[in-house]
Amino acid sequence: MEPGAHLVLAPTLQSFSRGPAGRYIVLRTSLHFFASHGALSGGVMWGEPTEADVRRMLAVTLGIASVDGPRVALVDARGIGRVDPFSFRALTRYADEHARSITRRITKLAVVHAQDVVGAVAAGFFRVVRLPVRSETFTDVRSALAWLGRAQDAPLLAEVEELVAKARALPAEVRQLAALLENDPRATLAGAASSLAISKRTLQRLLGDHGTSFRSELDAARVRLAQRLLLESGERIARVAIEVGCSSPQQLSGLFRRVVGESPREWRARVRTSP
């Protein structure tokens, strides 16, 4: 089967959300799809997703506002290379905040995880989170589809795996950019491109091809660095803002709310009091 025979790439996240049937979208560490028949949606995660990545994945996979359902959903987490506890706590918050809309759209959720330590930890998070729909974990896609009552969608999931393989083939420059921005959160597009020995246009194209942008990567890097400083030091938020390249605490707060969904102060208090 030729990739794309059943799924067509949506040009933007907004267009995917407005009309997802028969389309897919690639984000920074995930790919999301919606079957043309409307009975199945899903997402595949890989790499080292941040809290912002997990929230975005949940919003896309479970909360497509233009389609009420009912449908079943599948999340394939076998490609996750590292589990960040802060990231998966986003599951609990999202489930609490959007329980009514989730139950209106989703009847069952299957989670596929790897058979290793990382997979076991990921599966554990999904098991303990109180999702408002029936959910179960599996180690292979076919069993997950059978439980969802969508065994006939196996060819579609095989196509999704081909699309994911292409999306994960990140150029070295894109992989290196995240580390570069964490080390220098004040970097500009021109400066980052120069450090990577490529042109600005090439860097923008590479990022666009993989569902992200320089601004999105810079914002994510600043938030990751700020989270580390908020937890590992007693620095005031104003000082943390300066450290991560923000001009004021207000700018950091706005960035945090946009990426994480809460203020730096709220995030620090929640994480420090979490068990």
**Judgement on whether residues 12 and 91 belong to the same structural domain of the protein:** yes
H helix intervals, 184-243: 189-195, 200-209, 214-232, 237-243
User: How many structural domains comprise the chain?
Assistant: 2
- Which residue segment(s) compose the domain that 264 sits in? 172-273
Residues 6 or more apart from 152 whose CB is under 8 A from it? Answer: none
* 31 three-state secondary structure: strand
**Judgement on whether residues 72 and 178 belong to the same structural domain of the protein:** no
Domain end, chosen from 147, 168, 189, is at 168
Of 13-17, 178-182, 208-212, which has the strongest mean pLDDT? 178-182
The model carries a pTM of 0.68
Q: What number of helices (H) and strands (E) belong to the chain?
A: 14, 7
Task: Evaluate whether residue 130 is within a structural domain.
Answer: yes
**Judgement on whether residues 161 and 200 belong to the same structural domain of the protein:** no
**What's the pLDDT band for 123 if we cut at 50, 70, 90?**
confident
**Judgement on whether residues 30 and 87 belong to the same structural domain of the protein:** yes
**Judgement on whether residues 155 and 32 belong to the same structural domain of the protein:** yes
Least confident of 77-91, 185-199, 216-230: 77-91
Task: Evaluate whether residue 112 is within a structural domain.
Answer: yes
Task: Evaluate whether residue 201 is within a structural domain.
Answer: yes
Torsion of CA 251, 63, 21, 214, to 10 degrees: 20
**Judgement on whether residues 184 and 131 belong to the same structural domain of the protein:** no
User: Residue 41's domain is classified under what CATH number?
Assistant: 3.30.750.24
pLDDT of residue 11: 64
**Judgement on whether residues 204 and 252 belong to the same structural domain of the protein:** yes
Of residues 91, 82, 28, the one with CA closest to residue 62: 91
Q: What are the pLDDT digits (tens) for 150-190?
A: 999 999 999 999 999 988 887 878 878 887 898 899 999 99
Q: What are the pLDDT digits (tens) for 19-31?
A: 888 888 888 788 9
**Judgement on whether residues 187 and 116 belong to the same structural domain of the protein:** no
Judged against a pLDDT cut of 50, whether residue 2 lies above it is answered with no
